[in-house]
Structure 1
Amino acid sequence: MKEILVLYYSHRGSVRALAEQIAQGVHQVPGVAARVRTVPRVSTVCEAVANDIPDDGPPYVEERDLAECIGLALGSPTRFGNMAAPMKYFLDGLAGAWANGTLTGKPACVFTSSASLHGGQESTLLSMMLPLMHHGMLIVGLPYSEAALRDTCTGGTPYGVSHVAGQAGSARLSEHEIALAQAQGRLLAGYALKLAVSG
């Protein structure tokens, strides 16, 4: 069974909820499964370390997860129009994977969540694409052929699925956000499978 790595950092649960729906979409493609992973938090205290195993949710990502996947869905909350520090810290540590071409030629998509509708979702999605392009990955967007992208009044962009959490930080996804997250998972898995078979 070929696997898509669904890798995320989530602070209040919104990005995790999107990751779970993307994984649902991946599982809708025959012959492909989702491997869901997260990254640990970072601390301003240099001596602080995270437990080897998270208290809840999926395990922390390892470099072998990158090597074994045929595609990558990358998610982070929006922090001032950019990805959150834990995701950036993880990506910054992938010099070995970059040198070895571990991700070269594999498809990838990105996803995010913010408190407000205009909270920097699109710039965050674009910022997450940049390191993936340096790794030689092929970026998969979310086309307007997905009806929910035209109809949504909540999250969703052509750069990747998104969620609007509101000031209370609600992780409850809208109907359109769920549809778009699953569509993004199906699209990524479909492209990844075709590339894996032809490669």
Structure 2
Amino acid sequence: MSTPYILVLYYSRNGSTSEMARQIARGIEQGGMEARLRTVPAISTECEAVAPAIPVEGALYASLDDLKNCSGLALGSPTRFGNMAAPLKYFLDGTSNLWLTGALVGKPAGVFTSTASLHGGQETTLLSMLLPLMHHGMLVTGLPYSESALLQTTAGGTPYGPSHHAGADGKRGLDEHEIALCRALGQRLASIALKLENTRG
């Protein structure tokens, strides 16, 4: 039997969302579980892959098996007009078989996003990403206000999931509160997934 893991699945164009994914993965590992980082390829307006078959750097491309066999999921995307980016939506649209078989039912899931402008659709993007996960029967985990960084942040951070304000040039790094909230989501997912794994054992 394979080691239980949380899948950190994301699309990132300029690196901000991938940095958030790494911080969430760190939180998952701090919470006592393995984190599996995976991304999706860019697509054209005709919904065809326009990226190399294997990424030049960074995380590998996700497979449906990565999603099927995970114990939990952190799903991340930059904001595109208040919604998730097309490459991530394209991947999720291909998960019908997992829906038909109930492969994701009862597994914890959280979402995260990054925007160029301070408010720029962060919350609507997070909520839009939750919809397909709810159709899959996943258990939504947000961020409770017991996380002090949620009350202190002046940049990203929402109860729906971690967010990041990358700035107009996309080069503003994660601040201490954004990092804390990313790690908190990872720890929360790991904690819930471990409890659920123990009940199945």
Quickly name the TM-score band, shorter chain normalised. Answer: over 0.9
Distance of 2:198 and 2:61 partners within structure 1: 28
Equivalent residue number for residue 21 of structure 1: 23
* Residues in 2 aligned to 1:190 and 1:48: alpha-carbon distance in whole angstroms: 35
Distance 2:157 2:31 in 1: 22
Tell me, in whole angstroms, the C-alpha distance in 2 between the residues paired with 1:127 and 1:198: 30
Overall identity of the aligned pairs, in %: 63
Deviations 1:66-98 (A, max 9, x none): 122100000000000000000010011111111
Q: Give the direction of change, closer, same or farther, for the CA distance of 1:80–1:20 in structure 2 (3 Å limit).
A: same
Query: Quick one: distance in 2 between partners of 1:44 and 1:82?
Result: 16
| Paired AA for residue 26 in structure 2 | Q
State whether residues 17 and 78 of structure 2, in contact with CA within 8 Å, keep that contact through their aligned partners in structure 1.
yes
Gaps of at least 5 residues in structure 1 are: none
Is 42-51 or 9-18 further displaced after alignment?
A: 42-51
Residue in structure 1 matched with residue 154 of structure 2 by the alignment: 153
**Equivalence for 1:10:** 12
- For 1:139, the equivalent position in structure 2 comes to 140
RMSD of the TM alignment (CA)? 1.2
3-state SS of paired residue (2:57): coil
Change in CA separation of 1:142 and 1:45 when aligned onto 2, cut-off 3 Å: same
Q: Residue 33 of structure 1: CA displacement?
A: 0.7
Query: Which aligned pairs between 1:1-199 and structure 2 lie closer than 5 A?
Result: 1-30=3-32, 32-44=33-45, 49-170=50-171, 172-199=173-200
Query: How far 1:118 moved relative to its partner?
Result: 1.3
Cα distance, 1:48–1:176 mapped onto 2, change above 3 Å: closer
SS in 1 for 2:169: coil
Determine helix, strand or coil for the equivalent of 1:37: strand
- 1:29 deviates by 1.6
Q: CA deviation at 1:52?
A: 2.1
Tell me, in whole angstroms, the C-alpha distance in 2 between the residues paired with 1:145 and 1:46: 41
| TM-score after normalising by structure 1 | 0.96
Distance 1:47 1:136, change over 3 A: closer
CA contact (8 A) 1:74 1:109 kept: yes
Structure 1 segments, 4+ long, off by >4 Å, are 45-49
Instruction: Give the superposition deviation at 1:55.
Output: 0.9
Q: What is the CA deviation profile of residues 7-58 of structure 1, one whole-angstrom value per residue up to 9, with x for unaligned ones?
A: 000010010010000000000022x110000000011256664322111101
**Any idea what SS the aligned residue of 2:61 has?**
coil
C-alpha deviation, 1:116, in angstroms: 1.0
SS for the counterpart of 1:7 is strand
Q: Secondary structure at the match of 1:111?
A: strand
SS at match of 1:98: helix
Task: Tell me the SS of whatever aligns to 1:148.
Answer: helix
